């Protein structure tokens, strides 16, 4: 072993454990789950409700699920650990201060990539009545190196050095969550599976999120088909605002003209920038939201297919059936039979 290899090995001689994460999030009320799962912790700040759940998926790879509502504004101080964190914010906004007097916004439907040397002070800012739902992947360098070392040169320099040498250099990146990321993260948060089946499902979806995030980061790094290429930050913020409108009213969505007026751009700019940033047209994005809701209603309610069609904005069940089959390759009735087996 060369001196450099020995140095790299020494630098990687650390592992993340649930107790450290408990201290990291400064939560209490630890509730051990089954042996196949992990730990669930209750928040103690801001008169909060909800939980953080820490699941050790395999050596060097953990996931933290978050579903928290703070009823009062709160600041939570912590010390960083040297792990790579990929944070998928499905719902809610908050602030993260790493450099004093410089707070970064963690926005709804964004992915944050965080690397910070151990011991750096950080502060999370929770807003009153803001509901956070999130999935955070925590990766050790050896876990990534065994699987993705060939990709290191295509990633930002800090991530490459982390994977290759186990050295943590400060890096904080923000990327829009593509629709496939949102779907995978929601699947992790919403699954009704239990025990080893739940852990296996969450592992599979977490690996899907990891792969999708690496692909997105590499595309941006290479500036090839980057979703943000040529868009100003104001453009990006407006497209996120448009997506928020669609998320809240996908059953009877606004017209393109109404949506453009609402966020302050012209129709052509809206259609072009939305597809560029999120990889789908506004129509396709809205349709996918409707079909995902329909799938949920088929699985979890006793509503008839006609009633479900109406619930997601279809006057005629035949049109709903056609759209559902186009999305999932099966009819709603076949899907319901599958859910009930």
Each residue of 16-69: pLDDT tens digit?
A: 655 655 555 555 555 656 656 677 878 877 788 888 888 989 999 999 999 999
Cβ distance 181 to 207 under 8 Å? no
Helix (H, G, I), strand (E, B) or coil at 144: helix
Q: Which residue has the tokens 């593509």?
A: 178
Provide the 10 A C-beta neighbour count for residue 189: 19
pTM greater than 0.75: no
pLDDT, position 137: 96
For tokens 């703070």, the residue is: 70
Q: pLDDT at position 88, please?
A: 95
Residue 155 DSSP symbol: S
Pairing type for strands 49-58 and 171-176 reads unpaired
Give how far Cα 175 sits from Cα of 57, 272, 286, 300, 326, Å.
24, 18, 21, 32, 29
220, pLDDT greater than 90: no
- Would you kindly state where each structural domain of the chain is located, as residue ranges? 3-222, 233-340
**Once rounded to an integer, what is the mean pLDDT over residues 96-101?**
63
CATH superfamily of 233-340: Homeodomain-like (1.10.10.60)
Separation CA 202–CA 88 (nearest Å):
14
- The CATH code belonging to domain 3-222 is 2.60.120.10
Question: Are the folds of 3-222 and 233-340 the same?
Answer: no
* Distance in angstroms (rounded) separating the CA atoms of residues 304 and 289: 19
Whether residue 337 has pLDDT greater than 90: no
Average pLDDT of the residues of the chain: 83
> Which regions of 102-202 does DSSP assign to beta strands (E)?
102-106, 110-115, 121-126, 130-139, 171-176
Task: Name the one residue in this structure whose structure tokens are 């820490």.
Answer: 54
Model pLDDT, residue 245: 92
């Amino acid at each position: 072993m060369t001196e450099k290899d020995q140095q790299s090995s020494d630098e990687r001689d650390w592992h993340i454990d649930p107790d450290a994460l408990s201290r990291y999030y400064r939560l209490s009320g630890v509730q051990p789950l089954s042996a196949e799962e992990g730990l669930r912790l209750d928040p103690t700040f801001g008169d909060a409700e909800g939980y953080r759940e820490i699941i050790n998926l395999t050596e060097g790879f953990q996931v933290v699920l978050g579903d928290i509502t703070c009823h009062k504004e709160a600041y939570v101080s912590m010390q960083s650990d040297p792990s790579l964190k990929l944070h998928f914010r499905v719902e809610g906004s908050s602030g993260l201060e790493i450099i004093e007097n410089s707070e970064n916004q963690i926005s709804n439907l964004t992915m944050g990539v965080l690397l910070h040397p151990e011991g750096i002070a950080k502060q999370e800012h929770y807003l009153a009545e803001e509901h956070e739902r999130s999935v955070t992947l925590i990766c050790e360098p050896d876990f990534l190196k065994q699987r993705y070392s060939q990709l290191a040169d295509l990633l930002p320099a800090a991530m490459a050095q982390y994977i290759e040498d186990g050295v943590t250099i400060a890096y904080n990146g923000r990327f829009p969550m593509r629709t496939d990321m949102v779907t995978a993260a929601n699947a992790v948060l919403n699954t009704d599976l239990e025990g080893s089946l739940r852990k296996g499902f969450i592992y599979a979806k977490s690996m899907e999120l990891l792969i999708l995030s690496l692909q997105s980061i590499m595309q941006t790094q290479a500036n090839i088909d980057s979703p943000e290429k040529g868009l100003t930050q104001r453009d990006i913020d407006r497209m996120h605002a448009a997506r928020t409108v669609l998320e809240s009213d996908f059953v009877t969505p606004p017209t393109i003209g109404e949506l453009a007026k609402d966020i302050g751009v012209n129709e052509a700019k809206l259609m072009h920038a939305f597809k560029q940033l999120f990889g789908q047209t506004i129509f396709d994005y809205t349709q996918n939201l409707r079909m995902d809701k329909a799938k949920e209603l088929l699985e979890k309610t006793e509503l008839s297919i006609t009633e479900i069609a109406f619930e997601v904005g279809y006057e005629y069940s035949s049109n709903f059936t056609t759209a559902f089959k186009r999305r999932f390759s099966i009819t709603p009735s076949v899907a319901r039979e599958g859910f009930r087996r």
